[in-house]
Amino acid sequence: MKKTKLALGIAAATLTVAGVAVSQQAVAGTRAQHHATEAALVSKVDVLEAQLRAMQDEMSAIRASAGGGADSAKVQELDAWMQEHKNKPESRKFDNLLFFRGGYTKNDHSRSGVSIPDEARPLGIQPGDDEGFYIGAGFDFGLTDDVWGLMPNTEVLGELMLEWKDFGQATGVGVSSDGAGLGEPNIDGSPGVNATLKIQRVSVSQFSITASPKIKFMKGSKIRPWVIPVGLAFHVISPPSESITVFNPGMMFGAGADYNIWKSMYVGVDARYHLTSRSADGVNTDGFTAGGYVGLGF
Assess whether 43 and 115 both reside in one domain.
no
Torsion on CA atoms 163, 92, 259, 273, rounded to nearest 10: -40
Same domain, residue pair 108 and 84: no
Quick: pLDDT tens for 174-190.
Answer: 776 554 444 555 566 55
pLDDT at 187: 62
Domain count of the chain? 2
Task: Look at residues 88, 121, 142 and tell me which one is the last residue of a structural domain.
Answer: 88
Return the ∠ at Cα 223 (arms to 220 and 229), rounded to 5°. Answer: 95
56-70 mean pLDDT: 67
Confirm whether pTM is higher than 0.85. Answer: no
Q: Is cis: bond before 239, omega within 30 of 0?
A: yes
Q: What's the mean pLDDT when you consider all of the chain?
A: 80
Same domain, 149 and 264: yes
pLDDT band at 223 (very low <50, low <70, confident <90, very high): very high
Asked if 62 and 103 sit in the same domain, the reply is no
Which domain, by its residues, includes 77? 1-88
Q: Which residues fall within 8 angstroms of residue 236, CB to CB, at 6 or more apart?
A: 206, 207, 208, 246, 247
* CATH code, 278: 2.40.160.20
Instruction: Summarize pLDDT for 128-181 with one digit per residue, the tens.
Output: 899 999 999 999 999 999 999 999 999 999 999 999 999 999 888 777 655 444
- pLDDT tens for 192-219 read 555 677 788 889 999 999 999 999 999 9
Domain boundary among 88, 114, 149: 88
